[in-house]
Amino acid sequence: MNPDICRERENATFNTETLTNMLDGSAEKTRRRREIESLVINDPDFQHDDPNFMSRSERYDAAVKKSSQMIMKLRDYGISDPEEIYFYKRTARRTFHEAFGLHYTMFLPTLYSQCTPEQQKKWLPLAENFKALGTYAQTELGHGTHIRKLETTATYDPSTQEFVLNCPTVSSIKWWPGGLGKTSNHAIVLAQLYTLGKCHGLHAFIVPIRCMKTHQPLPGVTVGDIGPKFGFEEVDNGYLKLENVRIPRENMLMKYAQVEPDGSYLKPPSDKLTYGTMVFIRAMIVGESARALSKSCTIAIRYSAVRHQSELRPGEPEPQILDYQAQQYKLFPLLAAAYAFTFVGQYMSDTYHRITGHINQGDFSQLPELHALAAGLKAFTTWTANAGIEVCRMACGGHGYLCCSGLPDIYVTFTPTCTYEGENTVMMLQTARFLVKCYRQAREGQQLSGTVSYLNEQQRLQPQPVSSRPTVVNINDLASLVEAYKLRAAKLVEVAAKSLQGELQRSISQEDAWNNSSIELVRASDAHCHYVVVELFAAKLSEISDTAVHSVLNTLALLYALHGITLNSGDFLQLSQITQRIKALLVEIRPNAVALVDSFDYNDEMLNSVLGRYDGNVYESMFEWAKRSPLNRTEVRSFIIFNIIQKK
Ligand SMILES: CCCCCCCCCCCCCCCC(=O)SCCNC(=O)CCNC(=O)[C@H](O)C(C)(C)COP(=O)(O)OP(=O)(O)OC[C@H]1O[C@@H](n2cnc3c(N)ncnc32)[C@H](O)[C@@H]1OP(=O)(O)O
Ligand SMILES: Cc1cc2nc3c(=O)[nH]c(=O)nc-3n(C[C@H](O)[C@H](O)[C@H](O)COP(=O)(O)OP(=O)(O)OC[C@H]3O[C@@H](n4cnc5c(N)ncnc54)[C@H](O)[C@@H]3O)c2cc1C
């Protein structure tokens, strides 16, 4: 064990196991999670070479094999709890996505949430036993964001009681769905529904695309892989062109909307229920932001504890780079964000399941807030985590740029979260749409609830416009900082609403006024989400009984909130002493930095990083890893070229 990293652990002021248990929910949950992870770690079937030593085709084949092995093994172990399945798969896939990922994350959830009981009876056994292997095909070459303009059509033919599916143009070819290219034999296809000559907008259909016996594409189906990407090399994101493909009427997901045998259309309680799977994934992505950022912090902070470089004081030994204030200022606010997002991810998941429970009982009243919250927090946390992973990589110097550091793989796997499941700017504008509506309701005296109730407070404090009120912040008191973030959010929502109002008074259209206020609208959503994160972090602290853990997390929460103020100082009165306070907090956090990342409890296999190894023996393992590179399998490779050059 590296002596530096041993010393770091000896210096901690709290018990990492206590914090790990808190993050898991209990000591028993920690035990069970580790037990499940050890099933993977100790399984020779999952000991394979680094995918970075493989070609794209080899990586895809290995991913399919791993997905298949996981299915068999989970069955053999009798593991069926969704959270335990997630622990098992997360350990097995390490930093990469799995070939059957979309089947689990979107195809199955869509069947669960949008099939009638009769349809579930038919499709769930097929899908849960992987006979029907599916994906979620919504995006087309011409449209990803603007789904109301998707062009694929499903036209009902009452004479045969079938839908006829077509991609009428090049731009209507389905493009991007994960697992579509080579893996899936079915797809949930989002298409414009036409019946009795009328278009009823986007609806979801189960479309067989490959033969379940031969896996060959079915008649009328052109399908394939879209080619190499920035990352996601294990995933066969694909294209799908449908030409007069006929499916039975029963293949339209009819829990909310129906087409009768004669072609008559029965509309849903809300036309946004078709969008439900997207809200689910957005909500879950918030937790993924926390995991990607906490892994990156674990790697960068452990490495910073064992890396010695440069000279702090002449003549003294090279210090640990973690002792540089600049290094701390890079990493510790990200560590704080990783904890903040861990708590927000738990809150978002709980809120999603609570509200969808009400929706399943027919109460749709909280759907707009769920959509706005999931959209905003997905954008806010992925943008922060995405940038943070890069900071962690660069904080590791040259070795961070090696694949064996784990950081490039974490980055290229995580970065599309800012785009897929709703491009982040578009998501922030969706949240702004909800905030402006709530602001107007508050001004009319309506009582708001949930995360926007602060907009009522702002009205009671009239007539002073929020923007004129001084932001007096007690920089040592988290409650005071929460208030500052609340005031900032209220102020920026008011600024955005007034910008819209001003544009409208210039008698331009609502749409143009909206577009001309987009900067203020996105800033208002960002401020709202930032307030929600700080508020939730503070609320979580009130649940912690262990004084040592409470103290270290309180320090992180203060750092997160104060650092956020310095990043947005234009919105707060730049309090000069904040920088000094931040420096003092960095010093406070320094002895606990390694223990704080240890508490995330990532085992080396899942971290997949020679820099972030628990034992800190980075150089030895880097050298061993490099020697395994395929290029090193022969001592001399292109001697023919050398000979040609030498002959010249
Ligand atoms: C097992 C688990 C593991 C988890 C582990 C996680 C890891 C996960 C790995 C996954 C691996 C890759 C997975 C990528 C998979 C894709 O990327 S799938 C494709 C994703 N595509 C998108 O997200 C498209 C984004 N675009 C949209 O959602 C819509 O076009 C927009 C932007 C919301 C606009 O929709 P629109 O119909 O034009 O609506 P708009 O006119 O803006 O608003 C109309 C009203 O509808 C409301 N509305 C809009 N959308 C919604 C909605 N969804 N709900 C409710 N209301 C809504 C608006 O709020 C508005 O309400 P009001 O203000 O009128 O009251
Ligand atoms: C790795 C990966 C996996 C994916 N998996 C799937 C999948 O499984 N299934 C599936 O259906 N799709 C999938 N997608 C597609 C993904 O959902 C879309 O790429 C995403 O919704 C963004 O849409 P777009 O590509 O059309 O971007 P665009 O909307 O064209 O974005 C381009 C720019 O236009 C801006 N813009 C667009 N509209 C507005 C607006 N109204 N106001 C202001 N700015 C705007 C955006 O902010 C952005 O800056 C995947 C994508 C990736 C990268």
* Residue 398 pLDDT level (bands cut at 50, 70, 90): very high
* Residue 471 pLDDT level (bands cut at 50, 70, 90): low
List alpha helices for 78-206, DSSP H: 82-93, 101-102, 108-114, 117-128
At 87 the pLDDT is 93
* Rounded CA separation 71/74 (Å): 5
User: Quick one: average pLDDT of 223-252?
Assistant: 93
Q: Which residue has the tokens 């036209």?
A: 155
Contacts of 480 (CB under 8 A, 6+ apart): 473, 474
Q: Which atom of ligand 2 is nearest to the CA of 423?
A: 22
Instruction: Give the CA-trace dihedral at 89, 90, 92, 94, to 10 degrees.
Output: 150
User: Quick one: average pLDDT of 191-198?
Assistant: 98
Q: What is the DSSP letter of 525?
A: H
pTM of the model: 0.92
At 288 the pLDDT is 96
State phi, psi for 302 to the nearest 5 degrees.
-60, -45
* Protein residue whose Cα sits closest to atom 7 of ligand 2: 177
Buried b (16+ CB within 10 A) or exposed e, 296-328: bbbbbbbbbbbbeeeeeeeeeeeebbbebeebb
Coil, strand, or helix at residue 552? helix
Q: Is 51 in the pocket of ligand 2 (CB under 6 A)?
A: no
What spacing in Å lies between the alpha carbon of 421 and ligand 2's midpoint? 7
State phi, psi for 239 to the nearest 5 degrees.
-120, 155
Domains of the chain: residue spans and CATH: 134-268 (2.40.110.10)
* Residue 201 pLDDT level (bands cut at 50, 70, 90): very high
* Rounded CA separation 434/445 (Å): 17
State phi, psi for 416 to the nearest 5 degrees.
-70, -10
User: Quick one: average pLDDT of 57-68?
Assistant: 90
At 470 the pLDDT is 53
| Interval 328-358: pLDDT, tens | 999 999 999 999 999 999 999 999 999 999 9
More confident residue, 609 or 583: 609
Q: Do 557 and 538 contact (CB within 8 A), yes or no? A: yes
Residue 435, token pair as written in the block = 């905030």
Closest-CA residue to 501 (of 450, 436, 555): 436
User: Quick one: average pLDDT of 103-130?
Assistant: 95
Residues annotated within a binding site: 139, 178
* Rounded CA separation 148/200 (Å): 11
Q: Do 163 and 125 contact (CB within 8 A), yes or no? A: no
Instruction: Give the CA-trace dihedral at 22, 28, 31, 35, to 10 degrees.
Output: -130
* Residue 622 pLDDT level (bands cut at 50, 70, 90): confident
Q: Do 187 and 207 contact (CB within 8 A), yes or no? A: yes
Q: Position 106: which residue type? A: M
* Rounded CA separation 435/439 (Å): 6
At 191 the pLDDT is 98
Residue 375, token pair as written in the block = 């959209």
* Residue 210 pLDDT level (bands cut at 50, 70, 90): very high
What spacing in Å lies between the alpha carbon of 423 and ligand 2's midpoint? 5
Does residue 382 surpass a pLDDT of 70? yes
At 457 the pLDDT is 84
Does residue 647 surpass a pLDDT of 90? no
At 463 the pLDDT is 47
At 454 the pLDDT is 94
What spacing in Å lies between the alpha carbon of 362 and ligand 2's midpoint? 31
At 143 the pLDDT is 95
* Protein residue whose Cα sits closest to atom 61 of ligand 1: 368
State phi, psi for 204 to the nearest 5 degrees.
-105, 140
Does residue 645 surpass a pLDDT of 70? no
* Rounded CA separation 22/13 (Å): 16
At 643 the pLDDT is 53
| Interval 566-603: pLDDT, tens | 988 777 764 557 767 887 898 899 999 999 999 999 99
* Residue 108 pLDDT level (bands cut at 50, 70, 90): very high
Percent of the chain with pLDDT over 90: 77
At 37 the pLDDT is 96
Does residue 467 surpass a pLDDT of 80? no
| Interval 254-279: pLDDT, tens | 999 999 999 999 999 888 888 888 99
User: Quick one: average pLDDT of 293-320?
Assistant: 96
Annotated active-site positions, please? Answer: 421
Least confident of 24-28, 276-280, 286-290, 372-376: 276-280
Give, in order, the Cα–Cα distances in Å from 88 to each of 41, 71, 608.
Answer: 10, 11, 15
Does residue 543 surpass a pLDDT of 60? yes
Closest-CA residue to 240 (of 152, 192, 142, 173): 173
* Protein residue whose Cα sits closest to atom 8 of ligand 2: 177
* Rounded CA separation 304/391 (Å): 13
Pairing of strands 238-242, 221-225: antiparallel
* Residue 472 pLDDT level (bands cut at 50, 70, 90): low
Angle at 424 between CA 419 and CA 429, to 5 degrees: 145
Q: How many residues comprise the chain?
A: 648
DSSP string over 530-551: HHHHHHHHHHHHTT---HHHHH
* Rounded CA separation 508/510 (Å): 7
Contacts of 23 (CB under 8 A, 6+ apart): 342, 599, 600, 601
Least confident of 89-93, 149-153, 488-492, 632-636: 632-636
Return the bridge partners of 224, or none.
239
At 573 the pLDDT is 63
DSSP string over 398-411: GGGGSGGGSHHHHH
Burial status of residue 498 (CB atoms within 10 A of its CB: 0-12, 13-18, 19 or more): middle
Averaged confidence pLDDT in the chain? 91
Q: Is 419 in the pocket of ligand 2 (CB under 6 A)?
A: yes
* Rounded CA separation 112/590 (Å): 47
User: Quick one: average pLDDT of 122-131?
Assistant: 95
Give the ligand whose atoms come closest to the C-alpha of residue 436.
1
